[in-house]
Every structure is written in C-alpha cells, then in structure tokens.
Amino acid sequence: MTAMVKAEGVHKSFGQVEVLKGIDLEVATGEVFCLIGPSGSGKSTFLRCINHLEKINAGRLYVDGDLVGYRQKGDRLYELKDAEVALKRRDIGMVFQRFNLFPHKTALENVMEAPVQVRGVAKAAARERAGQLLERVGLSDKAGNYPSQLSGGQQQRVAIARALAMDPKLMLFDEPTSALDPELVGEVLDVMRQLAEEGMTMIVVTHEMGFAREVGDSLVFMDGGVVVEAGDPREVLTDPRHERTQSFLSKVL
C-alpha cells in the first residue's frame, strides 16, 4: 500500500539556518502518527512542508505518492504553480494551535466557507453538511454562535469540523490542545480519538503523551531537525533507547 506521507532526506533551511536536516519517515494510510520533541526541533516546519506552506530545499516529500511542491520531469524538478499547489492543499486538513476561525462568521458559516468558496459546493448542500459536521464534533447547539461566543475547546472543535468539510485524506494537527485551558483539552482529544477510530490518517504534533500512548500507532521523537527515535508509542514512551529521548521524556512525563 502507498504510504500517505513519505519523507526521504527532507531538508529545510530559513536563510542560513537549517531547521530540517534530513528527515526520513513514512506515515501509513489510516494511522495516527505522533510527532514529539523539544521546542524548535522543527516539528511545525515539517507539518508546514507537508501542507505546502513551506518548500523543502532538498530531499523528497510525497503525499499519497505525489511529490509535494514540485513536478518531476526526467531528472529535473519543477516548482508547482500556485494554482496547482492550491488544488493539492484541498486534500489536506490542518488544525493549528490557535483556532484561526473567521471572527465575523458563525460556527456554521466557518465550516461551510471552504466547500462553497473553494469547491463551489451549492450553499444549501454545504450548510447541511456543515450541520452534520458540527453534530459530529458535539456542537449542533452552537451552530449560530460566533467564535467569541465559544470556549477555546469549542472553537477548536469548529476548526476540526472546518478542516473535515473539505473531505481531506490527511489531517495535520499542530499542538491542537496547547492553547487550551486544561479542562477543555479532553473534549478536543475525544474528537481526535473518534476520527482515529474512523480510520482518518493523522499526523499529530503534540505534548499530550497520554494521547500518543493511547491512540498513536507510531511515534517519532525529533530533536535538532532530525528523527532521533521512532517506533511504537508505548515502547518509545516507556523504554526510550536514545539518551536524547530519555532526557526529553524525563522533563515532560
């Protein structure tokens, strides 16, 4: 089976600063892939590369067998045009630490927006689907609320529904609970757990080691722009082999 994401020697620099120094990994279709590591290790940058928000400088990155950001002709790579990138990004849902909802639109309008604007779905159909998605994240009764009238956890659940509205084949989560009050974390993790059960392929950058242990199929510990250790989350979190993983986990567990 084709991997949903495959990274081969992925490098990314900002000016002189090399942030990703040769990432090799594979995310299987249908798995929950957790990415952990200290601040500044390059986790967000890697997600942003997968989602075409950054272009890699060297190596190869594939989503569902398709090269990200480039087209290959013979031995040469050509950068994709903006319109081609926009098409590919439709298949990837991303949920950020901050919810990034449109403040002047209701929860329902936030969820309908992309299907109507980007996919040209008729408004009535998009509204009906948005209602179903809000129900799925437990927010049917908040459809008419504006983001300012929702808690952080509710806003994040709207953000998840909004990403799902585009029928992504891959969901990327960048520390989706770290901006939330502790009592609201569980309601967002519950929605993610449900998505995992439904078979969604998910890459989750997280500090929630309990979630990684319980729900994760694979876990990678990144440090300094490289993959230090990878494996079954229960094994890596219980019995890390690498000294850098041990040192990180001793601070966060």
- Smallest gap from Cβ 43 to ligand ATP, in A, equals 4
Residues 82-101 that bind ligand ATP (CB under 6 A): none
CB 189 within 8 A of CB 138: no
Site for ligand ATP contains 176 (CB under 6 A): no
Q: Applying CB under 6 A, which of residues 6, 34, 44, 143 lies at the interface with ligand ATP?
A: 44
Bridging pattern class, strands 5-14 and 170-174: unpaired
Of 45 and 201, the one with the shorter C-beta distance to ligand ATP is: 45
- Smallest gap from Cβ 85 to ligand ATP, in A, equals 17
Site for ligand ATP contains 130 (CB under 6 A): no
Q: b/e per residue, 90-104, with b = 16+ CB within 10 A? A: eebbbbbbebebeee
- Sign for the pseudo-dihedral over CA of 180, 186, 188, 192: positive
Residues 192-231, mask of contacts with ligand ATP (x by CB under 6 A):
----------------------------------------
Bridging pattern class, strands 76-79 and 92-95: unpaired
How far is Cα 201 from Cα 28, in angstroms, rounded to an integer?
8
Site for ligand ATP contains 14 (CB under 6 A): yes
CB 121 within 8 A of CB 63: no
- Smallest gap from Cβ 218 to ligand ATP, in A, equals 18
Tokens found for residue 43: 């986790």
Site for ligand ATP contains 40 (CB under 6 A): yes
Q: How many residues does the chain have?
A: 253
Site for ligand ATP contains 240 (CB under 6 A): no
Q: Applying CB under 6 A, which of residues 37, 69, 93, 176 lies at the interface with ligand ATP?
A: 37
Task: Please tell me whether residue 246 adopts helix, strand or coil conformation.
Answer: helix
Positions in the binding site for ligand ATP (CB under 6 A): 14, 17, 19, 37, 39-45
